[in-house]
Structure 1
Amino acid sequence: MRLDGVRILDLSRLLPGPYATQLLADSGAEVVKVEDTDAGDYARAMEPLTDRDTGAIFEMVNRGKRSVALDLKSEDGRAAFYRLVEESDVVLESFRPGVVDRLGIDYETLLEHNEELIYCSLTGYGQNGPWADRAGHDLNYVSVAGLLDMTRESPDAKPQTPGYPIGDMAGGLFAAFAIVEAVLARELGNADGEYVDIALADVVASFSQAVAYQSLTGDPAEPRPSETPLTGALPWYDSYETADGRWLVLAALEPKFWRAFCEAVGREDLVDEHGTDDPDVRAALRAELEDVFRERTREEWETALADVDAAVTGVYAPAELAAHPQFRARGLVERSENAPPRIGFPARHRETSTETTESVPGHGEHTRRYLAEVGYDEAAIDRLLESDAVR
């Protein structure tokens, strides 16, 4: 289902909310960024900057959107926003709980202007609970949700900060999913408007399914890092350094993959050690594998095992992604003349394209257009611009 004809007013800034609405824009929705009249989305000025002197993060997640700048603290700015709400399907906001109430743009207020409105609040800890008003960033959310603890190689080791902002991206993805769910329910006649409360910390916690049973039924301190089948406990499911100082991962959980690997590297003597629970045997096997993988470079190993069903892949840096033959074949990296290269929509539709070729919007670039669409004449728009209620 394409989202053509669905208009979304995006009040969010930085990364989680804009990532959510970028996914929706890629799916055909018309996304209007509603920014303040001062600096707008903070990400516009965040380093690193592109050759257009715009924040790289901003350009990555705001392509093909529109920008309307309104002062929602002013009566005229709110009045203009209410008119936009009347002609829209979705509002997404990421303010701290209580801010939208003070601004007069909360769900109950906006329902008076559009009874079929879908309203999504995306925050760190949600709208209720003792932590609802706490400040936070991605590192806080992955920390409280248990993910950061699972990055440690041992109970005494320092937690390792993930290379990607997992909470921000996961929260944005889930917000997009929840909005599509609400739009579909409305179109099917199962609901009118809807309020959706999403907490980034909740979404990260929901990623713990692989260890949830042990964690919820046993000692709160268990399972410890590196003691689960998917976090380093198994020598046949781990990463290994190669001769050139790079890394490979071996993910031979199934015996058939392990056997194929052992036969390919000439170590049939190791086949029967798969599945052992003996810690000494596991330690010896890990040492053997370390020696094996140090015999060749990453490229040599990938070439040698390319046609072997052994679940072996190289560990790649983000900078290598664009040149990787798999991602190139998938067309994941998108390039166009009027916008920076970016990682595109990660789903392929047979009948419709999800590529967004338009550029990122300038701050307030579309204010006049949208005010005209909702009934303001030229004189009224000029008056609002002069009063600084809009930009």
Structure 2
Amino acid sequence: MEMPLTGIRVVDLTRLLPGAYCTQLLADLGADVIKVEEPGTGDYMRLTPPLVDGQSVLFNAINRRKRSIALDLKTDRGHQALLRLVETAAVLVEGNRPGVMDRLGIGWEVLHKRNPRLVMCSITGYGQDGPYASRAGHDLNYMAIAGGLGLNGTRDGPPVPLSVQVADIGGGGLGPAVQILAALVGVERGSEGRWIDVSMTDGAVGALALAFAAQAAGERVARGDQRLAGRYPCYRVYACGGGGYYSVAALEPKFWKALCQALDRADLVELQYSEDLAVQGTMEEIFASMTRDQWEERLSSLDACCEPVLDLDEVAKHPQIVARRLLEPRPQGRAPQLGEHTEELLREIGL
């Protein structure tokens, strides 16, 4: 079946999560993603446990439907093969530190001259300029500098790493995918290709737009004490009796009123946005009075934005996840073995 990006070739020089997630989004839309890897070692996410049949399940999760070619870009043959691939491509995505592509002889000026319609996207931790441009880092560091890590946790506790890599996936995956698609539209309208400078730290800062706006307006924004992170009783996570937790996100007055009525606590209706910790304490006592399953039975039919907090091994059984078939095996194909398509691709480019 033809898909929106059928016929669009993407050359992927990235490793690990951010770039792979970005090109996976493009592959899922039908792009022919060519993963260029170093012979013998390849993307070292391939060996990140747990392994199944000698290859990481983490690698497999974000590299399906791609083809792999093993090229040593430091050799003339590998260098020429990449340039021939670029001639056939619409997009090249890379994740090296600034300057590495130029040292390899495949920087923007060279690639743009070879293929003026090419869109090149460079995904780095801090961008192509600034004092941190060449500094090593990972998602935790980008979130730390952006301020997101400092806001995550309880009021009296230390910053807690997020369980989802926001900078990697949002700033280094989804964000550049959108920019690449926009650049492709520009090319289709007659523009030349362009070089996209993506910084994961930039993306993390952008994700905090509301927090920065609130702070600039004089509102208190602190760890465990924000509008959507523990300040109000209507938007919190509550521990249930016997273990387990329940999420309450009754921000709108109609939802909060419905919840208070279901709890037989009409006296709390006017305290929706109270900052008195005693009100939170009252809600904590209420939810601690029953188990999570009992609360689910009582609140599941209520239209009030309240849902149980699921553990990972419970997600696949949730009726909405089942209905949307989110965790079923995908039909799009498996992830490639290292260099699996080398000969095939070399033939395609006449080498």
Paired with 2:164 and 2:50, the residues of 1 have a C-alpha distance of 16
For residue 248 of structure 1, what is the amino acid of its counterpart?
Y
Whole-angstrom CA distance in 2 between matches of 1:324 and 1:175? 31
Which residue of structure 1 lines up, in the alignment, with residue 48 of structure 2? 46
Tell me the SS of whatever aligns to 2:55.
coil
Partner of 2:348: 373
Say which of 26, 30, 38 aligns to 1:24. Answer: 26
The equivalent residue for 2:157 is 157
CA–CA distance in structure 1, aligned partners of residues 114 and 311 of structure 2: 48
Note the residue ranges of structure 2 that are not aligned, 5 or more in a row: none
Offset of residue 237 of structure 1: 0.8
For the residues of structure 1 that align with 2:346 and 2:9, how far apart are their CA atoms? 15
Shift of 1:307: 1.5
Query: The residue matched to 1:63 in structure 2 has which SS?
Result: coil
Shift of 1:362: 0.9
Three-state SS of the structure 2 residue aligned to 1:5 is coil
1:68 correspondence with 2:69: yes
- The answer to whether the 8 Å contact 1:259/1:271 transfers is yes
Instruction: List per-residue Cα deviations over 1:73-126 (Å, max 9, x = no partner).
Output: 011110111111101110000001111011111111111211100000000000
Question: Residue 229 of structure 2 aligns with which residue?
Answer: 231
> Which AA in structure 2 matches 1:258?
W
TM-score of the superposed pair, with normalisation by structure 1: 0.86
C-alpha contact 1:26 1:356 (8 A) present in aligned 2: no
Inter-partner Cα distance in structure 1 for 2:309 and 2:150: 22
Confirm or deny that 1:184 pairs with 2:185: yes
Instruction: Confirm or deny: 8 A CA contact 1:95 1:123 kept in the other structure.
Output: yes
**SS of the residue aligned with 2:328?**
strand
Q: What are the Cα deviations for residues 314-344 of structure 1, in whole angstroms up to 9, with x where unaligned? A: 1112222212111111111131xxxxxxxxx
My pick for the range that moved more, 266-275 or 243-252, is 266-275
Where does residue 211 of structure 1 map in the other structure? 211
CA distance in 1, matches of 2:232, 2:138: 32
Contact 2:119 2:193 in 1 (8 A): yes
Equivalent-residue separation in structure 2 for 1:17 and 1:186 (angstroms): 22
- What's the offset of the Cα at 1:299? 1.7
Question: Which residue is equivalent to 1:97?
Answer: 98
The one-character-per-residue Cα deviations of 1:98-156 (angstroms, maximum 9, x if unpaired) are 110111111111112111000000000000000001000111011101100111322x5
Please tell me whether residue 268 in structure 1 is matched to residue 270 in structure 2. Answer: no
- Partner Cα distance (2:309, 2:289) in 1: 17
Pairing 1:317–2:311 present: yes
What CA distance in whole angstroms lies between the structure 2 residues aligned with 1:99 and 1:334? 40
**Structure 1 residue 177, shift from structure 2 partner:** 1.0
Q: State the secondary structure of the residue aligned to 2:64.
A: coil
Amino acid in structure 2 at the alignment position of 1:34: V
Shift of 1:55: 1.2
When structure 1 is superposed on structure 2, of 66-75 and 228-237 the one drifting more is 228-237
1:327 match: secondary structure: helix
Paired residue type of 1:223: V
SS, match of residue 202 in structure 2: helix
**Structure 1: stretches of 5+ with no match in the other structure:** 336-354, 377-391
CA contact (8 A) 1:121 1:196 kept: yes
RMSD between aligned alpha carbons? 1.5
> Any idea what SS the aligned residue of 1:100 has?
helix
CA distance in 2, matches of 1:81, 1:270: 65
Which residue type is aligned with residue 117 of structure 1?
L
Q: Deviations over 1:266-306 (max 9, x none)?
A: 11122122233xx4xx2221111111111221122112111
Give the aligned residue type for 1:36: E
Q: Is the 8 A contact 1:34 1:67 kept in 2?
A: yes
Contact persistence 1:118–1:179 (CA under 8 A) = yes
Counterpart Cα distance in 2 of 1:243 and 1:43: 40
Distance 2:273 2:125 in 1: 40
Q: Is the 8 A contact 2:39 2:72 kept in 1?
A: yes
Q: Is the 8 A contact 1:63 1:356 kept in 2?
A: no
**Are residues 1:174 and 2:175 paired?**
yes
Partner Cα distance (2:23, 2:328) in 1: 18
Deviation at 1:39, TM superposition (A): 0.1
- Residue equivalent to 1:343: none
Of 64-73 and 367-376, the range deviating more from structure 2: 367-376
Structure-1 residue corresponding to 2:196: 196
Distance apart, 1:223 and its partner CA: 2.0
Distance 2:300 2:322 in 1: 17
- Partners of 1:30 and 1:324 lie apart in 2 by 33
Partner of 2:281: helix, strand, or coil?
helix
CA displacement 1:356-391 (0-9 Å, x = unmatched): 531110111111111111112xxxxxxxxxxxxxxx
Change (3 A) 1:108 1:216: farther
Identify the residue that residue 247 of structure 1 maps to in structure 2. Answer: 245
In the aligned structure 2, how far is the partner of 1:238 from the partner of 1:322? Answer: 24
Distance in 2 (alpha carbons) for counterparts of 1:180 and 1:334? 27
Structure-2 separation of matches of 1:91 and 1:334 = 30
Q: Is the 8 A contact 2:246 2:309 kept in 1?
A: yes
Contact 2:12 2:35 in 1 (8 A): yes
**Contact 2:232 2:272 (8 Å CA) reproduced:** no
